[in-house]
Amino acid sequence: MPLSLDRQNAYRRRYAALRPGWRPATEQYEVLIRQHLRPGMRVVDLGCGRGGVLEQLGPAADRPLGLDPDLRSLAEHRLPGLPRAVASADAIPLPAASVDLALSSWVLEHLPDPARTFREVARILRPGGAFLFVAPSAHSPAALLNRALRPLQARLVPRLYGREESDAFPVVYRANTRRQIEALARAAGLECHAFHHVEDPTYFAFHPLIFRLNAALVRALPRGMYEHIVAAYAKPE
How does pLDDT run across 163-203, given as a tens digit for each residue?
Answer: 554 456 788 999 999 999 999 999 999 999 999 999 999 98
SS3 of 116-180: the string is HHHHHHHHHEEEEEEEEEEEECCCCHHHHHHHHCHHHHHHHHHHHHCCCHHHCCCCCCCCCCHHH
User: Considering the chain, what is the average pLDDT of its residues?
Assistant: 92
> Is residue 58 pLDDT above 70, yes or no?
yes
What does CATH list as the number for 5-234?
Answer: 3.40.50.150
Domain boundaries of the chain, sorted by first residue: 5-234
> Which residues are registered as beta bridge partners of 58?
none
Q: What's the pLDDT at 219?
A: 83
Strand order in the sheet with 125-136: 84-86, 63-68, 42-46, 99-105, 125-136, 228-234, 191-198
CA angle 117, 140, 164 (to 5 degrees): 70
Write down the pTM of the prediction: 0.92
Give whole-number Cα distances, 214 to 144, 219, 228, in Å.
16, 9, 15
CB 70 within 8 A of CB 84: no
Rounded mean pLDDT, 112-132: 98
Q: Residue 2 — very low, low, confident or very high, per pLDDT cuts 50/70/90?
A: confident
Q: Is the pLDDT of residue 150 over 80?
A: no
Distance (Å, rounded) from C-alpha 79 to C-alpha 23?
26
- 50: exposed, middle or buried (C-beta count within 10 Å: 0-12, 13-18, 19+)? middle
Please compute the mean of the pLDDT values over residues 119-141 and round it to a whole number: 97
